[in-house]
Structure 1
């Protein structure tokens, strides 16, 4: 009989997919056959001609599950799905039937099944199947993932747990993610007090990590929708700082911090030339990951040649510097299959931070 666990969250960006990746890794150490299901997929990706949710595609690529993709992402919310459902073009029972059928197929093939929800508990209500309803329909115990803190955790859990209770879904564990290492024990201690007498357990997940939180250079290229030129070996380097090259070239270089992407407008020939030259000096290679070059004017011919000859990674985009800085600063990094450094860190940290035996015991009939 296949064991199942439903990964829910109190909101976006809590780390559901990261926790799902952790549990896939840990479950595979104990069970021969481990599967993944994303019942409702709001973020589309096309893999081998199959339209699936991006999280399902990610897990399939990392763990070699592409043969199960059609079952892993049974309901994909394209841009017309919600309207078609409300207009009656999609039957009222179709989302439920698709999810149940996909889960049944995956249960036949696996010993352990990780089911990842979407957003907070109520996501999916517009098509009659929110996370709480899905967890109940699939008879899967629930882990509720939340960001770190104390008061905000209690508030968010109370709000979401009420919906799961209303739908008859069983929240077994609140997993507090992204805790600051120095505050982990203290925060968990206060949360134990705050939730005393509640039916769910409290545990810590992964500590906050700038490596996991920050984007790679390739991630920024994808965000801007432009190709990454230059040294492709740097595409997976993690960007810890974004700096706007508005001061003099000397001042910009003097204030570079480690792992910086520098924004330099296309008309700043002296800054483009200087950074291109510095990229091949070891002391600056550590500081300078690459350039984002916004602007509507062409880079001068000689500067373009120096830029290309240096092999510094760069992204050229027709936007203003302010627009680029705003887009990069507000971006929330999401894991991709190319982020091998992050994936390795998640898997190794999971073995130290998450007690899979506790979670596995929750799935017993």
Structure 2
């Protein structure tokens, strides 16, 4: 069906209920994966919550979902993981989960849609029903997209189409750089414009500290000269936000810590991971000169390294000194297993030890290329993301751009 039919159908059958709002809804989307869209959404939610009585939040189309309970009727509801994060972190108790994540796309959904088992109009109605329900109890609406602008096109619910449905203005998020960032932005900008979606502005993320002023100057000029769109913010890179916690590694490798469970939310810099292939003596020297929060990776058959690690942990604890290192043991379970006595020793202590059913090379590679995601359990990372991003976003300019008093 054409975009014209979509808009005509929606206008007649499902009017959007935000007429009493002073600002158009804000829709956040990115140019690609892993560029900080959720971090920007969290920062916007924080800033908007300080400026409006009640904000609404919707992830119209989600993929990775959780099961939660509706406070209206106690029924189980599937919601995107970011929905739970935003609702709980900002205490948006006026919003029911039933109206926060209207469309979930699990494996097989696309095939069902193409086969006609999923109704397109029912899908659109779900989004509009959720949006209208929230609009009635909120004075400002914030929506977070999924991936880049085109994600969801195969089920006729990409970010630009959904933003057009609800009359939202778009905030585009891209990673640092000039030429490459603008090239990515241009593709997404054109899809927004083809769907009649207005761009409120752009946020450039993960910019090297020595490139902040240069990025602000030249990206502002590119956006203004080409589109007449402002730069809403330039966010400096903050490596900590990309450092996985041990809990992230549990999820990555589908395993659990053998010990040190209370340290699951301790973060480690993957660029500083040490692969241990040396002698025990050299390892102990390394352990004593490296920063206390260092992650070591070795094969599960290196009993000498395991015992040395545990002994150093006990020694530091006895001396009242900090010991925050973690040990990742690699090797396929069933083929390479810990001796029961050593496993018992590990479990009797509180040093973080993880057994991964991968080769050391594969485990190292997986951790190096892993991008941890924000989640409600990791309050430290969420708090730091909000406090880092929020000051770099020009909220007054954003609200001016989305004001209904201003001509579209």
TM category (shorter chain) comes to over 0.9
Structure 1 residue 248 displacement after superposition: 2.1
Q: 1:265 matched to which residue of 2? A: 299
1:277 matched residue in structure 2? 311
The 2-side partners of 1:285 and 1:118 are apart by 45
Unaligned runs of 5+ in 1: none
Deviates more, 1:272-281 or 1:347-356: 347-356
Q: Which residue of 1 aligns with 2:242?
A: 213
Q: Which moved more, 1:347-356 or 1:54-63?
A: 347-356
Partners of 1:62 and 1:150 lie apart in 2 by 33
**CA–CA separation in structure 2 for the residues paired with 1:96 and 1:157:** 26
| Distance apart, 1:148 and its partner CA | 0.7
Q: Give me the whole-angstrom Cα distance separating, in 1, the residues matched to 2:170 and 2:88.
A: 25
Aligned pairs, number: 365
The corresponding residue for 2:174 is 146
2:224–2:230 CA contact under 8 A, matched in 1: no
- What's the counterpart of residue 309 of structure 1? 348
In the other structure, the counterpart of 1:108 is: 136
Please, what TM-score do these two structures have when normalized by structure 1?
0.93
Instruction: Report the CA distance shift for 1:285/1:36 in structure 2 as closer, same or farther (over 3 A).
Output: farther
Q: 1:298 and 1:261 mapped to 2: Cα distance?
A: 21
Does the 8 Å contact 1:74/1:102 carry over to 2? yes
Is it true that 1:98 corresponds to 2:126 in the alignment? Answer: yes
In the other structure, the counterpart of 2:114 is 86
Q: Which range is displaced more, 43-52 or 96-105? A: 43-52
Higher Cα radius of gyration = 2
- Deviation at 1:25? 0.9
How far apart are the structure 1 equivalents of 2:202 and 2:320?
44
Going from structure 1 to structure 2, the CA distance change for 1:342 and 1:206 (only over 3 Å counts) comes to: farther
Do 1:24 and 1:34's aligned partners in 2 also have CA atoms closer than 8 Å?
A: yes
1:60 to 2:87 alignment: yes
In structure 1, C-alpha distance between the alignment counterparts of 2:57 and 2:321, rounded to whole Å: 40
- Residue 27 (structure 2) pairs with residue 6 (structure 1): yes
Q: Mean Cα displacement is larger for which, 281-290 or 95-104? A: 281-290
Contact 2:44 2:390 in 1 (8 A): no
Q: CA deviation at 1:13?
A: 0.8
Structure 1 residues 194 and 129: CA distance shift in structure 2, 3 A: same
Number of the residue aligned with 1:248: 279
Whether 1:324 aligns to 2:385 is: no
Do residues 181 (structure 1) and 202 (structure 2) align?
Answer: no
Check 1:350–1:195 CA distance in 2 against 1; reply closer, same or farther (3 A cut).
Answer: closer
Counterpart pick for 1:47 among 68, 78, 81: 68
Deviation, structure 1 residue 199: 2.0
Q: 1:95 to 1:299 in 2, by over 3 A?
A: same
- Partner Cα separation in structure 2 for residue 102 and residue 173 of structure 1: 25
TM-score, length basis structure 2: 0.84
